[in-house]
Amino acid sequence: ATMPPLLSAMANAGRHGVLVKSAVVMERLGEADAVALDKTGTLTEGSPRVTDVHPLPGAGLTDDALLALAAAAEHPSEHPLARAVVNAARERGLRLSPASEFDSAPGTGVTATVDGHVISVGSPLRLLRHADASSSADATASAAALEESGSTALLVLRDGEPVGVVGVADRIRHDAAVTVAAMARLTDVPPMLLTGDNARAAARLATEAGITDVRAGLLPQDKATAVREQEQAGHRVLVVGDGVNDAPALAAAHVGIAMGRAGSDLAVEAADAVVIRDELAAVPTVVALSRATRRLVV
Ligand code: ADP
Ligand code: MG
């Protein structure tokens, strides 16, 4: 017996390393006329590394002490940035104090109690909103310098006061630019970059990937809003993401694809399809597969 076209397309997608969850999804992939991509872990490899450790003057911390504090607070987090900080501390052979009262806010950062102090690590933009201007001037300058070079700057607060900045950088995926170009040919509006990271690092990566529509500093709900706005403008949006922070946007999309290898369980659940092999270029391939199937079906 011959397989129905949608089922054979699903099997074909599987051979390209993409798990498509249902025949309806297989059909929807080809209907997309707009695409939104997450940055960290989607357009980048998702294995960032610590490049800089800068204690602020007056904090009384050495590089190692700052990194150990940040790593202790990040230890319970599964975010790629957290793993980068913990790995850097391990590579330097630092001993990490246990963290208690851990809490994380997607798109913002983490907070935990370490050695009797409340330590926060995360986005300078979000964490500095509550700090007073005088104590944050040095931190802002240090973070801006790192972001200018394309890094993500993580601010470290001790009991609400900035004590240092840690710079983390990730590599662009080898197939990011070809994927963006292929998606641009398959869709009607320019591909959109949605990221919780800072505008400077986002702009730098967007240039390398060939994206002009860049939305930075977004919280998870902001990503979903950007998708809904495009849907309301009459588009059918394909969203590609990997993180907990992408789950609302994946759910709001006409069709959502999660990067599965390093992707969080929440993103994989919220998505309609999962890229199992770590190839971003498989995304335009399955869109084209879906369209070829539609031509057979109609
Ligand atoms: P993206 O949209 O690029 O995948 P996220 O939404 O995951 O990025 O994160 C956005 C920003 O939130 C990060 O650039 C960082 O400033 C902050 N952040 C999120 N999680 C953490 C964490 N565990 N540790 C430090 N910072 C974090
Ligand atoms: Mg991400």
Q: Rounded to the nearest 5 degrees, what angle is found at the Cα of 51, between the Cα atoms of 47 and 54?
A: 135
pTM (2 decimals)?
0.87
Q: Is 272 a catalytic residue?
A: no
Give pLDDT, residue 265.
83
Distance, CA 241 to ligand 2 centroid (Å)?
A: 6
Give pLDDT, residue 249.
97
Cα–Cα distance measured from residue 14 to residue 188, given in angstroms and rounded to the nearest whole number: 26
ipTM for the predicted complex? 0.96
pLDDT band at 1 (very low <50, low <70, confident <90, very high): low
Q: Give per-residue pLDDT as tens, 70-129.
A: 999 999 998 889 999 999 999 999 999 999 999 999 889 999 999 999 999 999 988 987
Active-site residue, from 33, 38, 132, 159: 38
Distance, CA 26 to ligand 1 centroid (Å)?
A: 31
Q: What percent of the chain has pLDDT over 90?
A: 77
Contact 107, 247 (CB under 8 A): no
Pocket test for ligand 1, best of 79, 83, 165, 222 (most atoms within 8 A of CB): 79
Distance, CA 119 to ligand 1 centroid (Å)?
A: 16
Q: Rounded to the nearest 5 degrees, what angle is found at the Cα of 295, between the Cα atoms of 293 and 298?
A: 105
Give pLDDT, residue 133.
62
- The arrangement of secondary structure in 5-45+171-297, i.e. its CATH architecture, is 3-Layer(aba) Sandwich (3.40)
Burial environment of residue 297 by CB neighbours within 10 A (0 to 12, 13 to 18, 19 or more): exposed
Give pLDDT, residue 217.
92
78-107 residues labelled b (16+ CB within 10 A) or e (exposed): ebbbbbbbbebbeeeebebbebeeeebbbb
Distance, CA 136 to ligand 2 centroid (Å)?
A: 27
For ion ligand 2, residues whose CB falls within 5 Å: 38, 40-41, 242-243
Q: Which residue minimizes the CA distance to atom 18 of ligand 1?
A: 109
Give start-end residues of each CATH 3.40.50.1000 domain in the chain. 5-45+171-297
Give yes or no for residue 42 CB within 6 A of ligand 1.
Answer: no
Give yes or no for residue 38 CB within 6 A of ligand 1.
Answer: yes
Q: Residue 125 belongs to what H/E stretch?
A: helix 124-127
83: nearest Cα among 168, 199, 205: 168
pLDDT band at 16 (very low <50, low <70, confident <90, very high): very high
Give start-end residues of each CATH 3.40.1110.10 domain in the chain. 49-169
Separation in Å, CA 167 to CA 45, 48, 78, 130: 17, 10, 18, 21
pLDDT band at 241 (very low <50, low <70, confident <90, very high): very high
Domain 49-169 belongs in CATH node 3.30.1490.20: no
Cα–Cα distance measured from residue 166 to residue 127, given in angstroms and rounded to the nearest whole number: 14
